[in-house]
Each structure stands twice: as structure tokens, then as C-alpha cells.
Amino acid sequence: MSSTNNVTGGLWQDTEGNLLSNGYLLFELSQDCIVNGTTMVCAGFVINVPLDINGSVVSSPLWPVDLLTPLYPNLPLFYTVTAYSALGQKVWGPFPQSVLSTPSPYNIGLWIPGKV
């Protein structure tokens, strides 16, 4: 049975190099999917992932895209991710990004913007 993977890390910064202390990330799946044969994971549902004082995710469970069955397999499956400051100012994204089942936990600090 498939399960979620925890995303961690980041050290997110704004355009001036300041850490996004107590900021947050918004994740939105690109399309509806099925997991474990019967459970629907819906696109359009926005997941708010808080950042700590260092601009990093401590731990947050998300469904890895490689364990989901998209309703439209001919279209790419990814999360649209946007980073915000603690004041709600958009500072990064939105970019298409993938969360995979391995490694676990999944360090999003290694992401390359827009690379799925």
C-alpha cells in the first residue's frame, strides 16, 4: 500500500538572500489522481506547508507523484509550488516541482526551480 513521503529542508530565501523565516509554501497538484486503487487525491486542493525560523520545512507529508495514478496519463503530473514570506508576499514561483517516494524524507532544498 502506498503512503505519503515527508518533505523536509529548503533554507528558502527571498530575492535579497534573507531567509523566509516563518514563511510558507503552497503546493497544488496538477491533476486529479488515484492512490491505492480507490483513494482520490484532488487537484485544486492547496496544501499549506509552514517554514521554520530558518526558512526550512521541518516535516510535512505529501503524496509522491510517482505513487499516484493520474486521471489523464498523457499529461504531466507535478505540484505547483509557490513560496511566501511570513507577511504573505510571494517570493518564489509558482514552479512545477516533483515530490518522489525516494529518498525518504524528501529534501526539497535540492530542487531546481521548474524542473519536474
Give the model confidence (pLDDT) of 36-64 as tens digits.
989 999 998 999 999 999 999 988 899 99
Q: Count Cβ atoms within 10 A of the Cβ of residue 13 and give its class: 0-12 exposed, 13-18 middle, 19 or more buried.
A: middle
Averaged pLDDT for residues 78-97: 95
| pLDDT grade for 14, boundaries at 50, 70 and 90 | confident
Residue 51: which of 80, 4, 91 has the closest Cα? 91
| pLDDT grade for 115, boundaries at 50, 70 and 90 | low
| Angstrom distance (rounded) from CA 22 to CA 35 | 31
Round the average pLDDT of the chain to a whole number and report it: 93
